[in-house]
Amino acid sequence: MDKKRLPVALGLASLVLGLTTIPATGAAAKQARASAVCELSLGSVSATGVHQAQGIKATAPPTASATNPTIGKFAAGKARLSGSWTIEPQVPASWMYTGKMVIGSTMYSASYELNGPDESVHLSKIGSGWDNFTFFEESRYDEGAGPGSVWRTHEYGLRNDGVLARWRVGAKGWVAAGTYPGFASVKTMALISQTRTYDTFLANARGGALYTIRIPVANPMKPIVKKVRASTWQGFETLIAERCGQYGTLLLGIDKETSSAYLYAVGHANGTATVIKGLGKVPNVHTAPVYLRWTGVAYANPPLNGE
């Protein structure tokens, strides 16, 4: 593999800097806004355990790069769930990849480095019992180091009995921060919004409905559920979301049964009034056991802003 090509394949400009752009004025600003195309960096783990990356662009129709391997390699057929993975530049010229991965029934913190002295995958065990979970995601929110700034890391897991669980991560490791039952009908979820007071997920139900689930940061954990659509969303086993514009979301739905993926532009979430525009079928997305979102570190990326 040509390591010099890897950052291009991963779309590191958007991963490290998010969707922020250098401000322009006058005609240049209008031209920049008109030509801007939202995109997301889709990650996956293949059946043979290869960590992969693929760029998806909201063109008309949608376009996708080839699926490119990273240097990460996990045990074949063992990866079950993954949260979003971050890519962070290291001094002088390497890249660090970090994320959480469920392998078998165990959750691990995983990392590896490109162009560093040691490129092997390092796994640190977090805990077992994850064979009972059908979904996992991590929300990292960071306002920087200014006075009164807020930063936090929350882990979310959906159990197969419909219980949504949350943990806070800090100096003492993972600390339980609430559970809430009643989500047995949920097929999968995608994180679409992060603020200092709540996280919001978009979730599809087995019966076809689409919902937002807002989870306040404060205890007790009491999610606020709003219906967005009543039907047609049951086909997706995976949802991947990325920030798009000032108040919007680029949403990728993956149907593993038909090896197909569809892209949507979702406006600011507002119940059934939410605007959803189908952008079409995405080429070159092939079925993988595990999908994830590649992103940059929280202090360098603007938070998701879908609600």
pLDDT at residue 146 greater than cutoff 90: no
Assigned domain for 25 exists: no
Question: What does the mean pLDDT of the chain come to?
Answer: 90
Assigned domain for 28 exists: no
pTM over 0.85: yes
Assigned domain for 27 exists: no
How wide is the angle at C-alpha 189 spanned by C-alphas 184 and 191, nearest 5°?
A: 140
Domain count, the chain: 1
CB 116 within 8 A of CB 94: yes
Q: Which two tokens stand for residue 284?
A: 């070159």
CB 159 within 8 A of CB 104: no
Run of H or E including 39? strand 39-45
pLDDT tens for 224-265 read 999 999 999 999 999 999 999 988 999 999 999 999 999 999
Strand residues in 143-237 grouped as ranges (E): 151-159, 164-170, 173-180, 186-194, 198-205, 210-216, 224-229
Assigned domain for 302 exists: no
Residue 217's domain comprises 3-19+41-295
Assigned domain for 24 exists: no
Assigned domain for 300 exists: no
In this predicted structure, what is the pLDDT of residue 20?
Answer: 30
pLDDT tens for 29-76 read 443 343 479 999 999 999 999 999 999 999 999 999 999 999 999 999
Return the CATH number at 89.
2.115.10
- The amino acid present at 137, given as its one-letter code, is E
Q: How far apart are the first and last CA of the chain?
A: 40
213, burial (CB in 10 Å: exposed 0-12, middle 13-18, buried 19+)? buried
In this predicted structure, what is the pLDDT of residue 145?
Answer: 83
Runs of H (alpha helix) within 11-60: 12-17, 26-35
Assigned domain for 33 exists: no
pLDDT at residue 14 greater than cutoff 80: no
Assigned domain for 209 exists: yes
